[in-house]
């Protein structure tokens, strides 16, 4: 059973020069007790998808179509006050930058207790117990002692653990982890991902993982959605994506991983992702695609189709 479903969701931005499509017909399902990933280069629309779920879009954003269903409610139809009851309580966010996400003027216990008290209304004694409990879950050593620490006394990895603890403090059913390993070294990245995986397995929490680290995503996610220029171009289980990538963009991302280039010059994807104002006829990946078919790929965008069971791809290579 799905905890959250994004159905045919599209949104645009109003700029002085016009209205530009930012997300185009996005559909993503997040089952209970699962980790679903969205991967792609910077600017492809990953974080905007996450912010759409929380209804934290900029004022110039326009929702064109679609639904975001959570507990049989379309979140897009809820008022601001109704969404405030869902944010944190039922859907929590782990923001991108652990270095700036904690308030440097307050101790860790002040920030944790603020979250716990706001959403639970429990006694101070029980709130402190809850704070220690979530710090233990994220493996912060000597959790009781660390409650009185300030953020500057924590390393980057410890700050990220504290932020994850704040997301857990509300017993949210869905955690949106937006680039949770940014600015962390490889060893700490693995530790953070292990913690998120344990939260999924032991607490039954669903996780939407936003990342450009395809190697990490592949190790921990149940399903991967590959996004390019505001579109889902391929989706399948993590295993299928790595064993049998179909879209040229997915193949290029995998080919650029250091693990796939041992002893060789690191491969890159030629060109840059387009910005939302850039007009491209047909598939938006076609200017960078080595498999582009003239007068087909550059004429009309392909549709996302199921090529094999539960493996979807948006590419003319599988239509002609």
Mean pLDDT by 10 residues, the chain (320 residues): 95 94 96 96 93 95 97 94 91 84 90 81 85 94 92 91 91 94 85 94 96 89 97 97 96 85 75 91 95 95 94 90
Site of tokens 């399948």: 236
Predicted pLDDT of residue 247: 97
- Name residues whose C-beta falls within 8 Å of residue 115's C-beta, 6 or more positions apart in sequence: 88, 166, 169, 170
d(CA 176, CA 289) in angstroms, rounded, equals 31
Strands across the sheet containing 18-31: 18-31, 2-15, 61-70, 73-74
Local structure of 199: helix, strand or coil: helix
pLDDT of residue 262: 67
Q: How far is it, in rounded angstroms, from Cα 277 to Cα 28?
A: 25
pLDDT at 198: 95
pLDDT of residue 263: 63
| Cross-strand bridge partners of residue 35 | 207
| Exposure of 67 in the CB half-sphere (CA atoms within 13 A) | 10
Q: Is 311 helix (H, G, I), strand (E, B) or coil?
A: strand
What is the distance in angstroms between the CA of the first residue and the CA of the last residue of the chain? 35
Exposure string of 250-260, with b = 16+ CB inside 10 Å and e = fewer, is bebbbeeeeee
- Between strands 231-237 and 206-211, the pairing is unpaired
pLDDT at 320: 56
Token readout for 201 is 């397995």
């Amino acid at each position: 059973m799905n905890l959250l479903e994004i159905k045919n969701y599209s949104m645009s931005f109003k700029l002085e020069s016009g209205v530009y499509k930012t997300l185009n017909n996005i559909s993503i399902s997040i089952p209970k007790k699962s980790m679903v990933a969205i991967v792609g280069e910077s600017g492809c629309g990953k974080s905007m998808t996450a912010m759409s779920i929380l209804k934290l879009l900029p004022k110039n954003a326009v929702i064109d179509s679609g639904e975001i269903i959570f507990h049989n409610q379309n979140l897009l139809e809820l008022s601001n006050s109704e969404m405030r009851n869902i944010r944190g309580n039922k859907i929590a966010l782990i923001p991108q930058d652990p270095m700036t996400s904690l308030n440097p003027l307050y101790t860790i216990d002040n920030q944790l207790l603020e979250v716990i008290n706001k959403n639970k209304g429990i006694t101070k004694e029980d709130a402190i117990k809850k704070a220690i409990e979530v710090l233990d879950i994220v493996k912060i050593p000597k959790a009781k002692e660390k409650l009185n620490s300030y953020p500057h006394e924590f390393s980057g990895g410890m700050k990220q653990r504290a932020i994850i603890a704040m997301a857990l403090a509300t017993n949210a059913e869905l955690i949106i982890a937006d680039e949770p390993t940014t600015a962390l070294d490889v060893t700490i990245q693995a530790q953070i991902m292990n913690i998120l995986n344990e939260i999924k397995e032991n607490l039954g929490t669903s996780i939407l993982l936003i990342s450009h680290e395809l190697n990490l995503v592949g190790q921990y996610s149940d399903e991967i959605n590959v996004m390019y220029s505001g579109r889902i171009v391929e989706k399948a289980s993590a295993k299928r994506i790595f064993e049998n990538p179909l879209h040229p963009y997915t193949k290029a991302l995998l080919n650029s991983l250091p693990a796939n280039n041992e002893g060789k010059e690191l491969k890159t994807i030629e060109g840059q992702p387009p910005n939302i104002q850039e007009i491209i006829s047909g598939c938006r990946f076609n200017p960078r695609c080595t498999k582009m078919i003239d007068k087909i790929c550059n004429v009309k965008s392909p549709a996302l189709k199921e090529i094999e069971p539960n493996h979807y791809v948006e590419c003319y290579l599988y239509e002609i």
